[in-house]
Amino acid sequence: MILYYLDPVETIHGVDISFDETYVLIGKQDIRAIANDLTSRICIEESESKKGFNFSQIFYQKIKNHCKLFNSFVLIKTLMLVSHGHIVSFFSVLKQKWIKHFSFESQVKSIFRQTFPGGVDICCLLEDGSVKYINQRGNPDPDSDEFNIDDEFEQKIEGKIICYN
């Protein structure tokens, strides 16, 4: 272990804390991390240098090991659709609440919308190459505005997906 001693002329410009570590910004660029595991002393001498960290982005460093951020999203009128893991969720911007969730057998790689006269399809590209569609045509009630998985229209991409946009 290499001990770090704070030079008396160096100034601490910031301190932030996460579940795992306490971050200290020394000078303008040196970020040091002190473990919050209670097995060592909490002091600069016990800290480790964190190369590649941006102190203004510590918030994202704090949550990255504790939550999975959405890997894809689409906005359709007043609905925000987000994918996370095996799930696509609908969030109503007007009601400010989650209104529907769809689960798939494979991880959702991306979601995107496909518009056509009179409607929109939400295309879900899954990790196994399947393309599932969520739309209003898949709804058993033709007068409803509710979205459902359209089991009649499904595609499968053979081979490895290299790029999509």
Query: pLDDT tens across 134-154, in order?
Result: 887 766 666 667 888 888 777
All domains in the chain, ordered by first residue:
12-63 (no CATH), 72-156 (2.40.10.480)
Q: Which two tokens stand for residue 155?
A: 């595609």
Provide the pLDDT confidence category of residue 39 given band limits of 50, 70 and 90.
confident
Dist. CA 128–CA 134, nearest whole Å: 17
DSSP per residue, 121-149: EEEEEETTSEEEEEESTT-SSTT----EE
What's the first-to-final CA gap in the chain, in angstroms? 47
Q: Which residue intervals of 32-95 are DSSP H helices? A: 58-63
Which residues are CB-neighbours of 120 under 8 A, at least 6 positions away?
A: 76, 113, 114, 135
Other CB atoms within 10 Å distance of the CB of residue 147:
24
If you average pLDDT over residues 13-31, what whole number do you get?
Answer: 82
Q: What is the pLDDT of residue 62?
A: 65
Among candidate residues 58, 77, 68, 72, the one with its CA nearest the CA of residue 20: 58
Cα–Cα distance measured from residue 123 to residue 131, given in angstroms and rounded to the nearest whole number:
6
Cα separation of 28 and 115, whole Å? Answer: 49
Q: 157 by DSSP, 3-state: which?
A: coil
With a cut of 90, say whether residue 128 has pLDDT above it. Answer: no
pLDDT computed for residue 164 by the predictor: 66
Q: What percent of the chain has pLDDT over 70?
A: 81
